[in-house]
Amino acid sequence: LYNEKMHYSLLSGKEGISLEKIRPDLPSDESVSWHSASESSGWGTPGNQNSVFTKGQDETGKINLSSQRISPDNDGYEDVLVIDIITGDPGTIVTLTIYDETGSYVRKITENFLAGNRASLIWDGTADDGTPVRRGIYI
């Protein structure tokens, strides 16, 4: 039976957040088989694969970039960088911060974001103040 304690413990509010089954083969009557839907899914995935679904450990721990460079000049080519994070753990909290090649802070993309098993985050090539970054290496 449903219990609010089945939700991810770090969520401050549970209203409007779906509980999703981690894998269909897990027992439905055990609370460990369920997890709160990810923030990246809009807190629910009706009609689609659950945002917390995991096959196993074969995909975990990967970060994929849409490109190795970003060119924020609005010409339609590499203007944004899509950062795909595959965690394999529905309870993964992500903080993504961009630094330049000297280690200086540039921009915080997200902080304490409930990513679920996977999330796609976008950097538009700007610093916190909205100005485009200079050519260089970013981490």
Q: Tell me the per-residue pLDDT of 46-103, one tens digit each, with 9 for 90 and over.
A: 999 998 887 655 566 789 898 898 888 767 778 889 898 988 788 889 999 999 999 9
- Segment 8-14 shows an average pLDDT of 85
pLDDT value of residue 57: 53
Query: What pTM did the predictor assign?
Result: 0.66
Compute CA 15 distance to the chain's CA centroid, rounded to the nearest angstrom. 20
Check: CB of residue 37 under 8 Å from CB of residue 10: no
pLDDT value of residue 15: 93
pLDDT value of residue 110: 94
Go through 39-73 and write b for each residue having 16 or more CB atoms within 10 A of its CB, e for each that does not: bbbebbbeeeebbbbbeeeeeeeeeeeeeeebbbe
Model confidence at 42, pLDDT cuts 50, 70, 90, reads very high
2 pLDDT more than 90: no
pLDDT value of residue 119: 85
Give the whole-angstrom CA distance, residue 87 versus residue 69: 23
Hey, where are the domains in the chain? 62-123
- Higher pLDDT: 130 or 88? It is 130
106 pLDDT more than 90: yes
Check: CB of residue 96 under 8 Å from CB of residue 109: yes
pLDDT value of residue 116: 82
